[in-house]
Chain A
Amino acid sequence: MNCDELRSAVLSGAEDELTAAHEAGCAACRSQVSGLRAAAESLSSDVVWEEPPPELAGQVLALIGHAAGSSGREPTRKAPVRGRWLTAAGIAASLVLIVGLFGLNRGPVPDWRVDLPATDLAPTAVAAVQGWNEASGTRMLISIEGLEPAPNGFVYEFWLSDGPLHISAGTFHDGGEIELWSGVARADFPRLWITLEAIDEDESPSGHTVLDTG
Chain B
Amino acid sequence: MRKFSQGDTDAVAELYTSFGRAVFTVAYAALGERGLAEEAVQQTFLQAWRASSRFDPNRDPGPWLYAIARRVAVDLYRRERRHQSADVIDAEVAVLSPSFEGTWEAWQVRSALEELTPDERAVMRATHYLGLSHEETAERLGIPAGTVKSRSYRAHKRMAGLLGHLREETA
Q: Which residues of A contact B (CB under 8 A)?
A: 4, 7-8, 10-12, 31-32, 34-36, 38-40, 42-53, 56-57, 59-61, 63-65, 67-69, 72-75, 77-78, 80-82, 164, 202, 204, 207
Chain A interface SS verdict (over half)? helix
Question: Is B106 on the interface with A (CB-CB < 8 A)?
Answer: yes
Residues of B59-83 whose CB lies within 8 A of A: 79-80, 83
Which of B16, B38, B109 counts the most A-chain CB atoms under 10 A from its CB? Answer: B109
B132 to chain A, nearest CB (A): 12
Bound-state CA distance A12–B133 (Å) is 12
Q: List 8 A-B contacts (CB under 8 A).
A: A7-B160, A32-B164, A44-B129, A48-B109, A49-B129, A57-B16, A61-B13, A164-B83
Nearest CB of A to B46, in Å:
6
A42, B160: Cβ atoms under 8 Å? no
CA A31 to CA B45, docked complex, whole Å:
34
Question: Which residues from chain A contact B29 at a C-beta distance below 8 Å?
Answer: 47
In the bound complex, do residue A51 and residue B50 qualify as a contact, i.e. CB atoms below 8 Å apart? no
Q: Are A35 and B50 in contact (CB under 8 A)?
A: no
Residues of B near A10 (CB, < 8 A) are: 160
Q: How big is chain B's contact interface, by range?
A: 35 or more
CA distance A47 to B37 in the complex (A): 11
Contact in complex: A65, B9 (CB < 8 Å) = yes
Inter-chain contact A56/B20, CB cutoff 8 Å: yes
Given contacts A32-B165, A46-B129, whether A59 and B42 have CB atoms under 8 Å apart is yes
- Tell me the bound Cα distance from A197 to B76 in angstroms: 20
Task: Check B7–A11 contact: CB distance below 8 A.
Answer: no
How many Å lie between the Cα of A114 and that of B152 in the bound state?
Answer: 64
CB-defined contacts of A82 to chain B, threshold 8 Å:
35
CB contacts under 8 Å to A, within B14-64, are: 16-17, 20-21, 24-25, 28-29, 34-35, 37-39, 41-43, 45-47, 49-50
